Amino acid sequence: MKVVLRQDVEHLGERGQIVNVAPGFARNYLLPKGLALEATPGNLRTFELQKKVWIAREGREIAEARALAERIEALDIVVAKKAGENETLYGSVTSSEIAELLAARGFEVDRRKLHLDEPIRTLGTFEIPIKVHRQVTARLPLRVVAEKE
């Protein structure tokens, strides 16, 4: 079944693409959630009219995301944790904890947007990628230091 994507769908395509999907996937997921329209001539015409508005909105969103990314990259976040002799932490620094630190600084970032392969378990300096927009990724500088007793 051919559908026109109204929004970006991960592992399927970007907004505006005409994709061929299984009828059940379209009927049970894409169409009810408003992620796609059936590729009929009428829907294609309507979509072309909306496309101009979406392009303008997309430009604004990317500009705002880049500005946010610059502000995030300018931050210097320090986390103090108890550490052992070999610079290993008792516990770890998780994406939830980093999201809370950002929220304390006035940046509301969903923890799922932070791309940590695994929690941080050693002292040092790290760059944490944050997906601010689907085309913009910020790199948050994070220092993990030993807690003073």
Mean pLDDT for 105-116 is: 88
Same domain, 53 and 80: no
C-alpha atoms less than 13 angstroms from C-alpha of 81 in its C-beta half-sphere: 23
Same domain, 82 and 54: no
Same domain, 60 and 92: no
Provide the β-strand partners of residue 147.
Answer: none
Q: Give the residue carrying structure tokens 């695994």.
A: 118
Q: Return the exposure string of 132-146: e unless at least 16 CB atoms fall within 10 Å of the residue's CB, then b.
A: bbeebebebebebee
Instruction: Give the domain CATH number at 37.
Output: 3.40.5.10
What is the pLDDT, as a whole number, of residue 120?
Answer: 92
Same domain, 74 and 62: no
Residue 125's contacts (CB-CB under 8 Å, 6 or more residues apart) are: 141, 142, 143, 144
Tens-place pLDDT, residues 73-94: 998 899 999 988 888 888 899 9
Same domain, 52 and 78: no
Same domain, 97 and 36: no
Percent of the chain with pLDDT over 70: 99
Same domain, 10 and 62: yes
Tens-place pLDDT, residues 47-67: 888 888 888 888 899 999 999
What is the pLDDT, as a whole number, of residue 149?
Answer: 64
Same domain, 108 and 46: no
Same domain, 61 and 76: no
Same domain, 78 and 139: yes
Q: Which range marks the domain in which residue 108 is found?
A: 70-146
14's torsion region: left (phi>0), alpha (psi -120 to 50) or beta?
beta
Boundary residue ending a domain (66, 97, 119) = 66
pTM: 0.70
pLDDT at 119 over 80: yes
Same domain, 93 and 138: yes
Enter the tokens of residue 73: 């990259």
pLDDT at 144 over 70: yes
pLDDT at 19 over 70: yes
Task: Lay out the sheet containing 18-20: strands in order across.
Answer: 18-20, 2-5, 36-38
Same domain, 131 and 77: yes
pLDDT at 28 over 90: yes
